[in-house]
């Protein structure tokens, strides 16, 4: 019997806990590139740190346990993780991506993987029956985010996974916005889970990292081979930082979400606000589906101000909430998707998928919610034209 049954405990005790040599309660930073072998042809566990490193292995075991997978893999960034997953595919293959996918994922397919003859199509993954019609024989995978960036669009992950299984193709979920604390796509039938661990898993805006989790031995072998062959691995120190960050994921997210629910309420009542996008609001697109597949609405909110508010002034007037790329750290951040995270998506495509120039994205931190809301309120006031 396991010593614990709940994810709050797994966050702290999961994976490889402590150090087998010294009984240190924390996994040490094994800052080494290579390991001495006992003799020619003799068995060894550790060989070279691109192939395997004990600190990284502890993190990989931890994320696999948290996502209820069988194998985890740590990469130098979320994009390196996505690159490794896309390296499963071959010339002639096509990947379906959801229309609100992370800008970097779109750019990677549009500008890099197209060199290798791997194509993509952008589809509305919230509409399962129209999605099914887009599955031609070239399509080998469906890659979705739920809630998706930046309109917090919810996709039915179980339905997409069932559809992928029906056509014998892979369902891939970028679970960055939710983390396994709020949503576990493998349990809903997904084949591969990806994370930008730079965000909530790290949680302190001090490390760039990516993770992949699978629950199938054949896929695990393929990803391990790609990880070792392409080499975009996470270093021992950053692996340590992530293990450390993950220990407090539960308490951080509880506070993030509590704050976000209050902020979404505040924005939806504010006279300057035209639209609020937050999957935790009952009137939000996909509210019921999100409630079924995730613990709550998470802590990302997007909104639009009415046209008579000057959005440049709004950003300039914020004092506590910082204008920055990224999300998921303890500090509240704000960004302008059209010119920042999603700038690599052409203007016409942005308009089609609803990423307007007036859209503002908030990553609600764990500061006092009163301070966060006071800052947003004064910036809105300053920006009124």
Q: Active-site residues: which are they?
A: 50, 102, 174, 199
> CB 337 → ligand PLP: shortest distance, Å?
11
Residue written as token pair 């764990």: 366
CB 200 within 8 A of CB 248: no
| Closer of 131 and 207 to ligand PLP (Cβ) | 207
- Beta-bridge partner residues of 75: 210, 233
| Closer of 277 and 309 to ligand PLP (Cβ) | 277
| Closer of 149 and 296 to ligand PLP (Cβ) | 149
CB 302 within 8 A of CB 149: no
| Closer of 335 and 380 to ligand PLP (Cβ) | 335
> CB 242 → ligand PLP: shortest distance, Å?
11
> CB 234 → ligand PLP: shortest distance, Å?
11
Instruction: Output phi, psi for 74, to 5 deg.
Output: -110, 135
> CB 80 → ligand PLP: shortest distance, Å?
7
Q: Which is it for the CA torsion 319, 374, 334, 197, positive or negative? A: positive
> CB 196 → ligand PLP: shortest distance, Å?
3
Number of Cβ within 10 Å of residue 334's Cβ equals 21
| Closer of 184 and 380 to ligand PLP (Cβ) | 184
Q: CA 80, CA 180: separation in Å to the nearest integer?
A: 20
> In the sheet that 300-305 helps form, which strands lie side by side, from edge to edge?
273-277, 300-305, 359-363, 333-335, 322-323
Q: CA 132, CA 211: separation in Å to the nearest integer?
A: 28
- Beta-bridge partner residues of 335: 361
Instruction: Output phi, psi for 289, to 5 deg.
Output: -65, -45
> CB 143 → ligand PLP: shortest distance, Å?
10
Q: Which two tokens stand for residue 185?
A: 């796509």
| Closer of 103 and 273 to ligand PLP (Cβ) | 103
> CB 341 → ligand PLP: shortest distance, Å?
8
CA distances from 261 to 267, 276, 278 (A): 10, 12, 9
Size of the chain in residues:
385
Q: CA 199, CA 139: separation in Å to the nearest integer?
A: 30
| Closer of 56 and 199 to ligand PLP (Cβ) | 199
CA distances from 366 to 204, 244, 314, 329 (A): 11, 17, 21, 8
Indicate the pairing of strand 359-363 with strand 333-335.
Answer: antiparallel
Phi-psi region of 190 (alpha: psi -120 to 50; beta: other; left: phi over 0): beta
By the criterion CB under 6 A, which residues form the site for ligand PLP? 77-79, 102, 104-105, 145, 149, 174, 176, 196, 198-199, 208, 210
Please report which helix (H) or strand (E) contains residue 194, including its range. Answer: strand 192-196
Chain residue at closest Cβ approach to ligand PLP: 78
Q: How far is CA 215 from the centre of its chain?
A: 18
CB 284 within 8 A of CB 277: yes
> CB 27 → ligand PLP: shortest distance, Å?
22
| Closer of 122 and 380 to ligand PLP (Cβ) | 122
Q: CA 380, CA 270: separation in Å to the nearest integer?
A: 10
């Amino acid at each position: 019997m396991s010593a614990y049954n709940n994810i709050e405990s797994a966050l702290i005790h999961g994976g490889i806990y402590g150090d087998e040599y010294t009984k240190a309660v924390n996994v040490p930073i094994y800052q080494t590139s290579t390991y001495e072998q006992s003799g020619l042809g003799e068995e060894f566990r550790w060989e070279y740190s691109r192939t395997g490193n004990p600190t990284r292995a502890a993190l990989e075991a931890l994320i696999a346990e948290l996502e209820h997978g069988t194998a985890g893999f740590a990469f130098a960034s979320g994009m390196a993780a996505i690159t490794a997953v896309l390296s499963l595919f071959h010339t002639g293959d096509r990947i379906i991506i959801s229309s609100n996918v992370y800008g970097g994922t779109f750019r990677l397919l549009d500008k890099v993987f197209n060199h290798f003859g791997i194509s993509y199509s952008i589809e509305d993954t919230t509409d399962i029956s129209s999605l099914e019609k887009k599955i031609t024989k070239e399509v080998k995978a469906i890659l979705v985010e739920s809630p998706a960036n930046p309109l917090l669009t919810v996709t039915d992950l179980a339905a997409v996974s069932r559809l992928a299984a029906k056509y014998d193709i892979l369902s891939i979920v970028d679970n960055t916005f939710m983390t396994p604390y709020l949503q576990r796509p493998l349990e809903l039938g997904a084949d591969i889970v990806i994370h930008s661990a730079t965000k909530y898993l790290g949680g302190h805006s001090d490390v760039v990292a990516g993770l992949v989790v699978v629950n199938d031995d054949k896929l695990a072998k393929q990803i391990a081979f790609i990880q070792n062959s392409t080499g975009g691995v996470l270093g021992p120190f950053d692996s340590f930082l992530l293990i450390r960050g993950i220990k407090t994921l539960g308490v951080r997210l509880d506070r993030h979400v509590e704050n976000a629910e209050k902020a979404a309420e505040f924005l939806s009542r504010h006279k300057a606000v035209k639209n609020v996008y937050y999957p935790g609001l009952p009137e939000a697109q996909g509210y019921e589906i999100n409630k079924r597949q995730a613990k709550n609405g998470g802590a990302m909110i997007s909104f639009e101000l009415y046209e008579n508010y000057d959005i440049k002034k709004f950003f300039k007037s914020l004092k506590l909430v910082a204008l920055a790329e990224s999300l998921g750290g303890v500090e509240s951040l704000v960004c302008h998707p059209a010119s920042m995270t999603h700038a690599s998506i052409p203007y016409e495509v942005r308009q089609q998928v609803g990423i307007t120039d007036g859209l503002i994205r908030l990553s609600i931190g764990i500061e006092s919610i009163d301070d966060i809301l006071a800052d947003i309120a004064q910036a809105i006031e300053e920006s009124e034209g």
